[in-house]
Structure 1
Amino acid sequence: MPEIAEPWTLGPVVVTGGTGHVGMAIARAFLAAGATTIAIGSNPQRTEAAGAELAAHGKAHVMAADISEPDNVRLVLDDVEQRFGTPAVLVNGAGINFHRLIRDLTSDEFDLIFKVNVKSMLFMSREACERMGRAQIRGRVVNITSGNYRYARPDAALYSATKAAMEMLTRGLALEYGHSGIAINAVAPGLVDRPGTTDPAFLKVADYYRGQSANHVLATPEAVAGAVMFLSSAAAQAIAGDTIVIDGGFSAGRLDFPRRSS
């Protein structure tokens, strides 16, 4: 049987949220595989810094853009296509979070988080898939959701709702674009470790996650990147509309459930 080419050899890789903690790890993984990789961020200063760091790892390019507006999505992908070719892999990693109890949420906050987390993912995916289809590229789309799509907690209901929406849209996109050979899936990290941080609030939550996860570990940016690479590979052609959860087993069940005496 002829060897099937890895999708990232057929065109560039686009990583939105590619200048953040997890996005940088994903970009580095594709660069290590030899892919032309475009990391997109919304903050010009952070994008510039990310570009300097990623340049040492391969064929890296960075762009600062607001992709929460559909018109900007088209402009960004027009630019990518003209300079590097039709994207063969899209990783939707752009997202924001803020901790708010439901009683404190404002209408503007509702609109903002859905715009950044959900709207940008949907329109980037649609535009990229249409272009892949026209170019007859059997590409990949991987959406970075969150373990929060599976469980709620105080002060994160709205964030969790956006991740649940991304999960369902991942399935819908997979059904509608699978006929073009485009495999669309998601990766849902739990709490992602930040080695070296001294933030007491983060460390407190990290201790809780470790204590209540089956494997007593946190997700790492590299583990998330590894799952993204697999779902973007030729080996994942038969996987569609599914999600890999990386949380050490935190969402598998309750370790703190009272045991019955024998």
Structure 2
Amino acid sequence: MALRLAKDGAHIAIVDVEDENARAVADEVRKLGRKSITFNADVTNRDDVYAAIDHAEKSLGGFDVMINNAGIAQVQPIADVTPDEVEQILKVNVQGVLWGIQAAAKKFQERKHKGKIINAASVAGHDGFAMLGVYSATKFAVRALTQVAAQEYASDGITVNAYCPGIVGTDMWEEIDQRFADLTGAAVGATYKKYVEGIALGRAQTPEDVAAFVSFLAGPDSDYMTGQSSIIDGGLVYR
């Protein structure tokens, strides 16, 4: 997403809990001729999120788009989910998005100009998936926050939308597949293969597929779109 938006002409602020990864992406953005800064923060900490946006505005000379992309997965039967597991995934996937919405909207209001807030949801926010119950619940919650924020901030010219990817070939899905294997006895790779085989377009999703849609949400062509959580999954879940 950072690279695609940089190619679109944006300067990029990268916020992460890991400095090394953030710096590596920032270096790639700069090679594209755009400004890029990093900020170390934990999205579960509300003050961190507000500080990150202040830093982005001051360092880059503006603030126009917020992407609440941080998220974690959890593969666990409903019967075995523990309080600590629930607390952690809610903090990251729901509270992290909420703090991002609040902080971004406040900054747009202070600057007295329109802005775009883009949240990470999932096809699991449209359909609940077995063994992904609490994760699915968090993504349903992101859809709700997206709808409500869109209504509450529309008068300020702020749009709020979410993107809902499917089976993306990333490290997260490797972890999900391994967890399914541990819990069900399936061979490593079997769960990933099963879901990919259900995609109408016949292949797993790439990060570039997701970034292309986020580019649309961040750009002017989506100015009349708000409150939507759009599925981009190659044809897996239909709404």
The answer to whether TM tops 0.5 is yes
Whether the aligned pair in 1 keeps the contact of 2:44 and 2:92 (CA below 8 Å) is yes
Residue type of the alignment partner of 1:182:
I
Cα distance change of structure 1 residues 242 and 114 upon mapping to structure 2, 3 Å threshold = same
Aligned to 1:43: 18
SS in 2 for 1:251: coil
Task: Give the structure with the higher percent helix.
Answer: 2
Matched residue type, 1:147:
V
| Partner in structure 2 of residue 143 of structure 1 | 119
Amino acid paired to 1:162: T
Corresponding residue of 1:211: 197
- Residue 86 of structure 1 contacts residue 132 of structure 1 at CA under 8 Å; is this kept in 2? no
> Are positions 1:175 and 2:166 aligned together?
no
The answer as to whether partners of 2:12 and 2:29 remain within 8 angstroms in 1 is no
Q: Distance in 1 between matches of 2:192 and 2:131?
A: 17
**What is residue 165 of structure 2 aligned with on the other side?**
189
Correspondence for 2:100: 124
Task: Give, in whole Å, the separation in 1 of the partners of 2:219 and 2:52.
Answer: 24
Q: 1:81-132 CA distances to partner (integer Å, 9 max, x unpaired)?
A: 2222342100110011121111221111111101011111111111111211
The count of aligned residue pairs is 227
**Structure 1 stretches of 5 or more lacking a match?**
1-25, 254-262
Change (3 A) 1:247 1:143: same
CA offsets 1:138-166 (integer angstroms, 9 cap, x no match)? 11111111111122222210011000000
Identity among equivalent positions (%) equals 29
**1:193 shift after superposition:** 2.0
CA shift, 1:198, in A, is: 8.8
Unaligned runs of 5+ in 2: 179-187
Is the contact between residue 167 and residue 196 of structure 2 (CA under 8 Å) also seen in structure 1? Answer: no
2:67 matched residue in structure 1: 91
Q: Which moved more, 1:210-219 or 1:151-160?
A: 210-219
2:95 alignment partner AA? K
Residue 206 of structure 1 aligns to which amino acid in structure 2?
Y
| Alignment-mate amino acid for residue 205 of structure 2 | A
2:170 and 2:42 map into 1 onto residues whose CA distance is 26
Match of 1:74 among 26, 43, 50: 50
1-side partners of 2:234 and 2:123: how far apart? Answer: 11
